[in-house]
Structure 1
């Protein structure tokens, strides 16, 4: 006979339909066990990441700065991508005071390719504010960080405060959501207000009072390396004995085994919620999928489809008298998507326009920057380049044109927001990944045309192939 016991927990300050749902809280004993096991595991298994090397710095402001930079970079970005960016950033601006002296152009150049460019701008604004208004001293609590630093939300404030200042405050990010939802069988949508409130309540309730930094890093590390979205390594999880999702998997295995006449003496907890209508449990219209196991948790709301946009882009190449080739860039507005970054002259195709509308090179240039090229010059169609932003599926319809130094008129263009750059300067400029894709498509077209030439009959340079006959 399978022994069963009901898990009762008196901890937690959230209610569910007026009653504390026991399975969604940690008991005092569970909290103590979780803290001890998680911190021990983290100290033995933590990854060697560059920002963790700064945590031994006796200067608390330097510790906070290091955590701040890493957490902002890690927002919606994979660790493997962030590592090199972080190293370059800290080499160029090792202190908060160094960053405060930087220009937005320098920050954008350093951030180029990392995405979500407003993050870099807000780091700069925050550093300047700390230096100018707080004498270079970072706010010392999560509440003060949240209040005073631009771009710092509840999670980032909690991470800085707990890791750099040892403030006993919880944090909730994607990894923590996954860990807590599986441990406490929270099956409602993780984006719902009820679930968000509960997760923050749990995080603040369970955080280790003496070692909050190691505990919070341990929670994130556990979610990133063990309690992963797909194929989690439950067998190597230090908290598996406390995980109710794993217990549910074992319970179903036991139940199925009993149907086959296989007896089990393992004590399987009764993990049914005591509340009839619970805002945290798996909705009644959604059933547990045995094939998914612990991956049934957390549940996410349906992702909103990205809006579709099309943009005409023109790569203008200028041949100088000395043979140097330069490309024309325009700076985007200082607010909005890709704020302050440089791009090739572009013109968005409005929804009401026909997809095949004539967006000639002259129309794109006139509308985006006012650059003038002779009317007789026509463009070469490079092709389409697709790029996915977090909320936009963008298609760039790329054209290219080459002109001599005498054929282009930029006398009426504001030089502050437009400039000519060489290929090398383009590579190091503050341009988006999307524009790098556009330039690559442009170069590939040239290489393709050169490769199809008969070298014995025609030795024309690549430049001639970007003009239509």
Structure 2
């Protein structure tokens, strides 16, 4: 496999045809395309990782209303940031966004280092492609991107064999992206590449008849559009079990614990979790003696990209509790605080009424999705 593969079309022809398509069919009125700044573009790019545009728009608008600039974001506490991220998933993105804002304020005097791809890529949560997208979209300077949509377009156009996550395949795709990226109209070109992948060259239902590269696409010529790009080799998802303690006091408030800053639901507030009923009872004996257990709720499954978590809620009531401490707090479901909540916990809390426990319904999922934007 060569590091410099041949292109299907001369770069100038590819660029002209793509931009002609974009001028008519591209997306020109997304919120982050208005009043473009490195900050607004950065927030949108982080939110768009693994998440569709239609899902991101209301989150982006709420986020901008509360944190209109990097200074406001850096000054906020993590709970407030994660509260606005609740439901968007992949919470490490929210934590890294907050960390990066503070780095920009402390190390770059509040200005994003868009003059340097390396400096942008060194910020928490920003990789090579995201750094390129921020630079291109906010400054118009030439920068190459290779997000999931671009990978899919180039993989199909050239019938690139192998999973794009493999280093050799990724190097080939970066080489193609580099050769096709123009020096002019870079904002439109990068957006056009993302739009083509998101709206026509979709994974499951590509609309080849509307594609400006239908006659050159090697995957289409072979009738193998759905074979490209090749999927990551699958491994069976392991399953874990946990008991979540729904401990209510006489006022109907629920006890929450803040998760460690790294790892599963890092920094979010969750219900106390235990491996088994013995561990849960031992915790109650120590911290909430006299607590009365109710019947367990039905087990439900929350799916992550790398494992399934079977959650069994265990309701209990207590009259008094030892000192709550910094990592615990009482939460009133009827007057919720602005804190970041793990998705299944948010659903459980919403099902509560004062002094009443009602079994939850439904299936929660936080699976990795095709990064269609």
TM-score (norm 1): 0.71
Q: Identify which of 327, 336, 343 aligns with 1:417.
A: 327
Q: Does 1:332 align with 2:259?
A: yes
Distance 1:332 1:425 in 2: 22
Distance 1:163 1:312 in 2: 45
Q: Does 1:206 align with 2:180?
A: yes
Residue 308 of structure 2 corresponds to 393
Residue 369 of structure 2 corresponds to none
Q: Does 1:177 align with 2:151?
A: yes
Inter-CA distance 198–127: structure 2 relative to 1 (3 Å threshold): same
Q: Does 1:34 align with 2:14?
A: yes
Residue 363 of structure 2 corresponds to none
Distance 1:332 1:155 in 2: 30
Q: Report deviation, 1:379.
A: 2.9
Inter-CA distance 365–441: structure 2 relative to 1 (3 Å threshold): farther
Q: Secondary structure at the match of 1:335?
A: coil
1:259-293 deviation line (CA, Å, top 9, x unaligned): xxxxxxxxxxxxxxxxxxxxxxxxxxxxxxxxxx3
Distance 2:256 2:108 in 1: 38
Residue 341 of structure 1 corresponds to 268
1:10-69 deviation line (CA, Å, top 9, x unaligned): xxxx727xxx6xxx5216x621111011112223222332111233xxxxxxx1111110
Q: Report deviation, 1:447.
A: 5.0
Distance 1:421 1:245 in 2: 54
- Once the two structures are overlaid, the 10-residue window that deviates more, 385-394 or 293-302, is 293-302
Q: Secondary structure at the match of 2:35?
A: helix
Residue 372 of structure 1 corresponds to 288
Q: Is the 8 A contact 2:315 2:357 kept in 1?
A: no
Inter-CA distance 392–364: structure 2 relative to 1 (3 Å threshold): farther
Q: Is the 8 A contact 2:80 2:338 kept in 1?
A: no
Q: Is the 8 A contact 2:333 2:349 kept in 1?
A: no
Q: Report deviation, 1:170.
A: 1.5
When the two chains are superposed, the root-mean-square deviation of aligned CA atoms in Å is: 2.2
TM-score (norm 2): 0.89
Inter-CA distance 31–242: structure 2 relative to 1 (3 Å threshold): farther
Q: Report deviation, 1:428.
A: 4.0
Q: Is the 8 A contact 1:361 1:399 kept in 2?
A: no
Residue 152 of structure 1 corresponds to 126
Q: Is the 8 A contact 2:129 2:147 kept in 1?
A: yes
Q: Identify which of 140, 151, 162 aligns with 2:136.
A: 162
Residue 107 of structure 1 corresponds to 81
Distance 2:66 2:179 in 1: 39
Q: Does 1:315 align with 2:239?
A: no
Q: Report deviation, 1:230.
A: 1.4
Q: Secondary structure at the match of 1:89?
A: helix
Structure 2: unaligned runs, 5 residues or longer: 360-373
Distance 2:303 2:242 in 1: 13
Structure whose CA Rg is larger: 1
Residue 282 of structure 1 corresponds to none
Q: Report deviation, 1:427.
A: 6.6
Q: Report deviation, 1:440.
A: 4.9
Distance 1:237 1:39 in 2: 12
Distance 2:234 2:283 in 1: 34
Q: Is the 8 A contact 1:362 1:372 kept in 2?
A: no
Q: Which has the higher contact order (CA 8 A, sep 6+)?
A: 2
Residue 433 of structure 1 corresponds to 343
Q: Report deviation, 1:298.
A: 1.2
Distance 1:442 1:400 in 2: 11
Q: Identify which of 3, 28, 43 aligns with 1:69.
A: 43
Q: Identify which of 281, 296, 304 aligns with 1:362.
A: 281
Matched residue count:
356
1:124-176 deviation line (CA, Å, top 9, x unaligned): 111111112111111122222113x1111111111111111223222111111
Distance 2:280 2:73 in 1: 40
- Once the two structures are overlaid, the 10-residue window that deviates more, 423-432 or 392-401, is 423-432
Q: Secondary structure at the match of 2:204?
A: coil
